[in-house]
Amino acid sequence: MTTARKLTMAQAISEAIGQEMERDPKVFAMGEDIARYGGIFGATGGLLERFGKERIMDTPISESAFIGAATGAAAEGMRPIAELMFVDFFGVCMDQIYNHLAKNTYMSGGKVRLPVVLMTAIGGGYNDAAQHSQCLYGLFAHVPGLKIVVPSNAYDAKGLMIQAIRDDNPVMYFFHKGIMGLPWMAYYEGSSNEVPQEAYTVPFGQARIAREGKDVTIVALSQMVQKALLAAAELEKEGIGTEVVDLRTLVPLDVEAVVRSVKKTGRLLVADEDYLNFGLTGEIAALIAERLDQISLKSPIRRLGVPGVPIPYSRPLEQFIIPQVKSIADACRGMMRGKVAQPA
């Protein structure tokens, strides 16, 4: 019998890791403050007490060292989970990620498997300034050899984490701080939902229709899905039916789910918290543009994202550059009127 409870994303991720550690003794976790503090965003809460310091390891502040150690451990048959505290810190360990973790299976002719989960916190909205507030998953989606997972809610967070741990390839798992359900930080309630106690997986490359609609398709992931759902609820009062497609994973990408939705609505808005330039929004727009022989658009494709500036510390400026519920709703209204709204 399946038993479900309402969990936060932080609780769901921690539960997924704990269940996989119980199932498979080769699974262990390492990172800064993941043991004694349970991770500063709660992703490993309670695991030190259950599994001890040999499997839940606090590390020195040396991201290159512990991500390199995770890569080596995986090559020797272990299944490590490493937490990069903020994705913004990737610069000090990028060589380990894109030259070793991403490529060594290919360069070994498939003889070396690297089942590493590299999880990391993303996102702004809480005034942590330019070096602690970015998303950047588009950078890693650009690198062959990495799978990219970006959940928007607790149910998906657990299932995707279990799938990631069991995958024999490197997986980058991005969680948005603003939907983790942390008591010290405001978050979107919709990200906490019913989660089965039993272990389960959510397959990679299968997008979720978070809300059905007939007039406009919004493609999003992570916290932006929660904002899109709130915008869709507002638009419904005006008679506008908005379909929200939650991508769940960037690599692999469920292109067909997006195509099916846009075929139905004839309008596409891609809303993202990553940078607008050379990112997810442009990729999705291009994939749809390449299929215009199959799709009849009623309005030009619309993109919302962060402009090419560092994330400001100032709350009004930060709120201005990151797409919000109002800017998403306004963009949809403009598309229904045949107008293209200005970037948020």
d(CA 71, CA 172): 13
Do 63 and 107 fall into the same domain? yes
Do 190 and 212 fall into the same domain? no
Do 65 and 144 fall into the same domain? yes
pTM for this prediction: 0.95
Do 98 and 146 fall into the same domain? yes
Instruction: Give a yes or no: residue 263 inside a domain.
Output: yes
- Looking at residue 344, its pLDDT comes to 42
**Is beta strand 27-31 parallel, antiparallel or unpaired with respect to 79-86?**
parallel
Do 238 and 172 fall into the same domain? no
Do 223 and 166 fall into the same domain? no
- Predicted confidence band at 1 (pLDDT cuts at 50, 70, 90)? low
Instruction: Give a yes or no: residue 266 inside a domain.
Output: yes
Output DSSP code: residue 89.
G
Do 257 and 297 fall into the same domain? yes
Angle at 151 between CA 25 and CA 33, to 5 degrees: 55
Domain boundary among 196, 218, 235: 196
Please pick, among 100, 132, 142, 176, the residue that the annotation labels catalytic.
132
Domain boundary among 141, 173, 196: 196
Distances (CA, A) of 172 to 53, 120, 201, 249, 316: 23, 8, 16, 10, 31
276-323 residue pLDDT tens: 999 999 999 999 999 999 999 999 999 999 999 999 999 999 999 999
Do 12 and 123 fall into the same domain? yes
Do 220 and 181 fall into the same domain? no
Domain encompassing residue 139: 4-196
Do 192 and 127 fall into the same domain? yes
- Looking at residue 183, its pLDDT comes to 85
The kind and range of the H/E element at 74 are helix 63-75
Task: Encode burial over 12-31: b for 16+ CB neighbours within 10 A, e otherwise.
Answer: bbbbbbbbbbeeeebbbbbb
Mean pLDDT for 151-173 is 98
Instruction: Give a yes or no: residue 344 inside a domain.
Output: no
Mean pLDDT for 10-39 is 97
CATH of the domain at 59: 3.40.50.970
CATH of the domain at 279: 3.40.50.920
Domain count for the chain, please give it.
2
d(CA 115, CA 42): 23
- Concerning whether 142 is annotated as a catalytic residue, the answer is no
**Is beta strand 4-7 parallel, antiparallel or unpaired with respect to 193-196?**
antiparallel
Asked whether the predicted pLDDT for residue 3 surpasses 90, the reply is no
Instruction: Give a yes or no: residue 203 inside a domain.
Output: no
Reduced to 3 states (helix: H, G, I; strand: E, B; else coil), residue 66 is: helix
Asked whether the predicted pLDDT for residue 339 surpasses 90, the reply is no
Reduced to 3 states (helix: H, G, I; strand: E, B; else coil), residue 39 is: coil
Instruction: Give a yes or no: residue 341 inside a domain.
Output: no
177-212 residue pLDDT tens: 999 999 888 788 889 999 999 999 999 999 999 999
Asked whether the predicted pLDDT for residue 341 surpasses 50, the reply is no
* Averaged confidence pLDDT in the chain: 95
Instruction: Give a yes or no: residue 201 inside a domain.
Output: no
Question: Which H, E and C letters describe 254-315, residue by residue?
Answer: CHHHHHHHHHHHCCEEEEEEEECCCCHHHHHHHHHHCCCCCCCCCCCCEEEEECCCCCCCCH
Do 269 and 144 fall into the same domain? no
Angle between helices 154-166 and 9-23 (to 10 degrees): 30
Reduced to 3 states (helix: H, G, I; strand: E, B; else coil), residue 96 is: helix
What DSSP string describes 196-243?
ESS-----TT--EEEE--SSEEEEE-THHHHHHHHHHHHHHTTT--EE
Instruction: Give a yes or no: residue 294 inside a domain.
Output: yes
Domain boundary among 151, 174, 196: 196
Mean pLDDT for 60-81 is 97
Do 220 and 192 fall into the same domain? no
